[in-house]
Amino acid sequence: MRTVAALLFLFTCLESFESSSATPVCTNGFTLINNKCLKLLNTPVNHKAAEISCSSFGATLVTVKNDHDNQAIATIVGSSTPLVWLGLYCFSSNSSQCLWDDESGSARSYNNFSSGFPLVALGQCVYYSTQGALTGKWLSAECESQRMAFVCELPTTFADNCLHNYNGYCYTFSSSPQTFIGAQSTCAQTCGNLASVHSPNENRYITTFAPQDYYYIGAIWKTDYSLRWMDGSAWDYNNIDPIYPNRYNYCLHMSTITTSGSGFWYGDDCSLSRKYVCKREAGVPCTTVPPPVTVRPSSTNPSNCNAGLLMSPGVFTSPNYPQNYFNNENCTYQLSTLGSYRITLKFSNFRTESNYDFVSVYDGPTTSSPSLGRYSGNIGSFYVSSSENNMLVTFTSDAGVVFQGFTARFYSVVHRS
């Protein structure tokens, strides 16, 4: 309880800094257009390679939310290339099923598709035309075989000499571990705090640039079970792993390990020493040192057998888990994530009738996609990763012996070059 009391005291002592009134700027050679930072890359590549290239800047492929955004693409591209990828992926030929890479939602509220588009029969990725009668229009294309230039997008920030400057804040990733209180005190020495995280894009930025490890972030689980950020900001985004929503002694860390829930947050013992992420306002001189310093429950039986499209992150199981599954099961689990990610799938407690009851995993949306493995027997826990943003899992059992089956969780992982 002493640790908890100390954390709550630190939380109540924290003071907010005034936002910088400096002029917004762009980093990494991006150009400020319509209050966005844009960068044209002229080398023609497929959609996946374009996403990976943008992520190397902590950026996404360009998103378009209004007419001004649409015109901004024409401005940055000019006459240098006729076609550029957008950060938009369509699951059907309906704009409400076309989702932006920045996880801001669908293109239903605004889009500029050419007549008859989107048309996923031609491809599920979307590009922007900059020349001719189709200037400014969006069209569908096959994601892997088509190659074209692309525009990356970053939010504006403020001028600062920090290495990792994103959306008005500077981030530092520690190389040596400390306890939660020690980490917060170290961050405070440079007028920062352990990082609060307020959007999928910010979460992805951290996982992109932080070396693979486990890092304290600035969240505490208070005695009333509410979650609060150490810097006093609003709790408006949550990425706690849905399969591990336990509070476990009041502190949270983030995984940046590709094979261990990269990007997810986990409850942790505050007295453990871990690496950590500091965050401070960009462009604000550090003249004085500040004082040191609703979770979604998972389903009890999330089988999702033949449930249709399952968006990451999620959990599925064999039917009737943790009890034995039934004879003659025939389950399909269609897993998907946004176009800028791939999927990592973790099976736990895997136990089926060896050589008779099988789980098959495919690197794509159908059984004709490349096989990632066919599994049967008493295997325990293991991981499978896709190369794209779709994965298909099937489970079949015969009329003979039945076993407990399996539980599995899947989550999104940033493409790493």
The CATH number of residue 328's host domain is: 2.60.120.290
Task: Establish if 244 belongs to a structural domain.
Answer: yes
How many domains does one find in the chain? 3
Q: What was the pLDDT predicted at 303?
A: 87
Task: Establish if 205 belongs to a structural domain.
Answer: yes
pLDDT digits (tens, 9 = 90+) for 61-71: 999 999 999 99
Last residue of a domain, one of 238, 264, 281: 281
pLDDT category of residue 85 using cuts at 50, 70 and 90:
very high
Average pLDDT over residues 394-412: 92
Q: What was the pLDDT predicted at 232?
A: 87
Expressed as residue numbers, the domain containing 245 is: 2-22+157-281
Q: 100, exposed or middle or buried, with CB in 10 Å at 0-12, 13-18, 19+?
A: buried
DSSP secondary structure letters along 301-313: S---TT--EEESS
Same domain as 272, residue 169? yes
169-183 burial, b for 16+ CB within 10 Å, e for fewer? bbbbbbeebbbbbeb
Lowest mean pLDDT among 109-123, 125-139, 286-300, 366-380: 286-300
Task: Establish if 260 belongs to a structural domain.
Answer: yes
Task: Establish if 299 belongs to a structural domain.
Answer: no
Say if residues 185 and 293 touch (Cβ distance below 8 Å).
yes
Cβ-based neighbour number of residue 329 at 10 Å: 19
pLDDT category of residue 308 using cuts at 50, 70 and 90:
confident
Q: What was the pLDDT predicted at 298?
A: 37
Same domain as 252, residue 396? no
Task: Establish if 322 belongs to a structural domain.
Answer: yes
pLDDT category of residue 331 using cuts at 50, 70 and 90:
very high
Task: Establish if 297 belongs to a structural domain.
Answer: no
Residue 142 or 2, more confident: 142
Mean pLDDT of all residues belonging to the chain: 88
The answer to whether residue 249 scores a pLDDT higher than 90 is: no
Same domain as 233, residue 206? yes
Same domain as 178, residue 136? no
pLDDT digits (tens, 9 = 90+) for 388-400: 899 999 999 998 8
Task: Establish if 291 belongs to a structural domain.
Answer: no
What percent of the chain clears pLDDT 90, i.e. is strictly above it?
70
Amino acid type, 135: T
Average pLDDT over residues 58-82: 96
The answer to whether residue 7 scores a pLDDT higher than 90 is: no
Task: Establish if 288 belongs to a structural domain.
Answer: no
Q: Is the peptide bond before 322 cis (omega within 30 degrees of 0)?
A: yes
Same domain as 163, residue 118? no
Same domain as 72, residue 53? yes
pLDDT digits (tens, 9 = 90+) for 190-232: 899 999 999 999 999 999 999 999 999 999 877 667 788 988 8
200: domain CATH number?
3.10.100.10
Output the six-digit token pair for 157. Answer: 């920030």
Last residue of a domain, one of 121, 154, 187: 154
Output the six-digit token pair for 389. Answer: 């943003």
The answer to whether residue 141 scores a pLDDT higher than 70 is: yes
Average pLDDT over residues 103-126: 96
Starting from the edge strand earliest in sequence, which strands make up the sheet with 378-385, in order?
314-317, 405-414, 341-351, 378-385
Same domain as 173, residue 104? no
Say if residues 103 and 197 touch (Cβ distance below 8 Å).
no
Say if residues 353 and 398 touch (Cβ distance below 8 Å).
yes
Same domain as 254, residue 323? no
Same domain as 197, residue 163? yes
pLDDT category of residue 283 using cuts at 50, 70 and 90:
very high
